[in-house]
Amino acid sequence: MNDFYRLDLPVTSDQAGRLALLQDLFSQACNLLALEVQARRTWSRIALHHACYEDLRARFPDLGSQMACNAIYAVSKTCRLVFQGSSSPLRVARNRSTLNQRPLLRFAADGPVYFDRKTLTVRQRELSMFTTAGRLTIPMVFELADFQSIAQGSWREATLTRTATDRYQITIEIRPNDETTISASPASTTLREHA
């Protein structure tokens, strides 16, 4: 089982606006892909990439090539959970009638944004993340061991979310071979382990 760490991001109102714009654009791309999933009856990441990548880039040039790939990943992953998850009422194997009449998934404008190593960089004193207005640098101070745990390639994926109180967080998924507890300073920007 992977560990999850959540980092509160100390962003200014201008930076929060940039992140909100990214969230909205990312969800629009995901919703376009969801239409393709429904029409094509496939959610394979590779199939979606081959079928939709060029159109996605043409329709959302500000999203950039790697975030377009991340949107494809997000839709594929979500569809796997909804249509293949063992506890999902829409699981295709359980309910064959859903195979041809699959519901259209909708991604909220304030939904999670998926990042990878090309769109999110973790440095000892900052996070650098893609936005449609250029990279956003957020000052952070990590303990050396914590920084090494993340930077050495042990993190699997990261998602940006907005809380009910309009604060932004990055959740980092750490591979199971890393048991490091991560902390950051200042205290308002701590990473916490979540089960």
Taking 60 as the threshold, does the pLDDT of residue 1 lie above it? no
Examine the fold and report which residue of 74, 100, 126 is the final residue of a domain before the chain moves on.
100
Q: Where residue 177 falls among pLDDT bands split at 50, 70, 90?
A: low
Which residues constitute the domain of residue 141?
3-11+112-194
CA 102/CA 83 separation, integer angstroms = 9
Cα(167)–Cα(57) distance, rounded to whole angstroms? Answer: 29
Q: Using an 8 Å Cβ cutoff, are 130 and 66 in contact?
A: yes
- Residues 117 and 186 placed together within one structural domain of the fold: yes
Same domain, 83 and 32: yes
* pLDDT score at 55: 96
Confidence of residue 91 (pLDDT cuts 50, 70, 90): low
Instruction: Say yes or no: 43 and 117 in one domain.
Output: no
Which residues, 6 or more positions from 151, have their beta carbon under 8 angstroms from its beta carbon? 122, 123, 124
Kindly state whether residues 88 and 122 are assigned to the same domain.
no
Given a cut of 90, whether residue 192 has pLDDT beyond it is no
pLDDT at 89: 59
Among residues 77, 100, 123, which one ends one of the domains?
A: 100
Q: What is the mean pLDDT of residues 187-194?
A: 35
Is residue 121 situated within a structural domain? yes
47 falls within a domain: yes
If asked whether residues 94 and 119 sit together in one domain, one would say no
Are 94 and 121 contained in the same domain? Answer: no
pLDDT tens by residue, 96-111: 554 556 778 899 999 9
Give the total number of structural domains in the chain: 2
Give dist(CA 39, CA 50) in Å, integer: 15
**CA atoms within 13 A of residue 135's CA, in its CB half-sphere:** 13
The answer to whether position 107 is within a domain reads no
